Amino acid sequence: MQKIKKFSFLFLTFVVVMGCNTKNKEDHSAHQDGESILYTCSMDPQIKEDKPGKCPICHMDLTPMKKDNSASNEIALSDQQIKLGNISTQNIEETNSSLKENYTGVLTINQEQIKTISARAMGRIEKLYFKTTGDYVNKNQAIYQLYSEDIAIAKQDYFAASKQLTMPGDFGKNAKNMLQAAKQKLLFYGLSNAQIESIKDNAQISPYTTFYSTYSGYISEIAATEGSYIMEGGAIIKLAALSTLWLETQVNVNYAKSLKIGQSATVSFTDYPTKEVKAKISFINPEINPDSRLLLIRMEIANPNLFLKPGMQAVAKLTQSNKKGLFIPTDAVIRDENATYIWVEKSHGIFENVMVETGVEANGMIEIKSDLDSTKKVVVSGAYAINSEYIFRKGSDPMAGMKM
């Protein structure tokens, strides 16, 4: 009986001790798990729970992940993750680079070489001698015929004054002044000396006058129609000389910062693949396109043989030689609506994001204008892999709530 009591006491003691040990292990395990494991959703990484379950958004099973206790702008990656993400780093130093960029544009008429033939007096257009844009007009060719009472009166005054010249005394002297005044008015209306002289021989004064071109060029616009009335100064036709053309293209605003008027460019043409010409930048638009963030620039293209035509597509090759600065691959820069930033390796396996200001972008490289810590290496490949892992773990963009 004594043995049985002794055995029962030892068994009870064993059970109590084992129970306490098991509880301690469970408590320790729960504490350890609570410190190192979180549960998140692969579709909605912003969801973080301390126990298994389903995502409240998409209702998928939550997956366990190690808790990241690094700083808010840092992330720790294992050697395996670095390898799988193809993440590489390098020290960045200032270099002299020759940046080349190709920009596509379209040849247009040089607006500075457009001449407008306008009506010199009010009247009705009786006839247009040219009715098709693109036609070539030689200097002194007839352009239009105008019915004008004002010009008819000036013609009559000139004719009358010419007949009074032969009259004796003051009549003849006054007629000379009248003749000169009438001639000046006709010249103002645009009549040539030959047309004015012919009035003396015609007793029948015509209200119709033919006007001739004072320029040569291709018709770029016909602004009037036969039978329409036109006011003094109204445009009839516009003539364009094609000896020079404009090439207009739009360039990256960061690249355009270093461009200047007079800078040389090499231009090639889609329709003439083997032909290249030299051109100079003649205009840089001060206004940036708010949608594309591009800047319009213009180059003047010599066209002595007229083989180039408005509307042709061309490619301008712009070069900036010996551009000194910090350059990294374009893919190493993360851009979003809040900021532009890069990832740098703070220590082995520890990466932090750094906000930067960018400059010229060309040849797959981009200039970093911000000062960087020379002791740290910049991530030059795999930056987007780090960024994705950061968002997956921490559920937010590294620069959320920040602006440049």
What's the rounded Cα separation, in Å, for the pair 39 and 141? 87
3-class state of residue 359 by DSSP: strand
pLDDT in tens, 388-398: 888 877 766 66
pLDDT attached to residue 388: 85
3-class state of residue 389 by DSSP: helix
Q: Which two tokens stand for residue 33?
A: 């798990």
Q: What is the CA radius of gyration of the chain?
A: 42
Contacts of 51 (CB under 8 A, 6+ apart): 39
The larger pLDDT score, comparing residue 31 to residue 315, is at: 315
Exposure class string for 336-348: b at 16+ Cβ within 10 A, else e: eeebbbbbbbbee
The pTM score is 0.58
Residues 22-39, mean pLDDT to the nearest whole number: 49
pLDDT in tens, 167-193: 766 666 678 888 899 999 999 999 999
pLDDT attached to residue 103: 87
- 8 Å CB contact between 298 and 281: yes
pLDDT attached to residue 116: 95
Q: Which two tokens stand for residue 371?
A: 């000062």
pLDDT in tens, 31-71: 444 346 777 776 776 677 888 888 888 888 887 766 655 66
pLDDT in tens, 134-157: 999 999 999 999 999 999 999 999
3-class state of residue 331 by DSSP: helix
What's the rounded Cα separation, in Å, for the pair 8 and 2? 10
Q: Tell me the CATH number of domain 100-111+242-321, given options 3.40.190.290, 3.65.10.10, 3.40.50.10490, 2.40.30.170.
A: 2.40.30.170
What's the rounded Cα separation, in Å, for the pair 111 and 241? 9
Confidence of residue 16 (pLDDT cuts 50, 70, 90): very low
Taking the domain 116-239, which CATH number applies?
2.40.50.100
3-class state of residue 398 by DSSP: coil
CATH architecture designation of domain 74-97+325-394: Beta Barrel (2.40)
**If you ran DSSP here, which 8-state letter would residue 201 be given?**
G
Confidence of residue 79 (pLDDT cuts 50, 70, 90): confident
Confidence of residue 25 (pLDDT cuts 50, 70, 90): very low
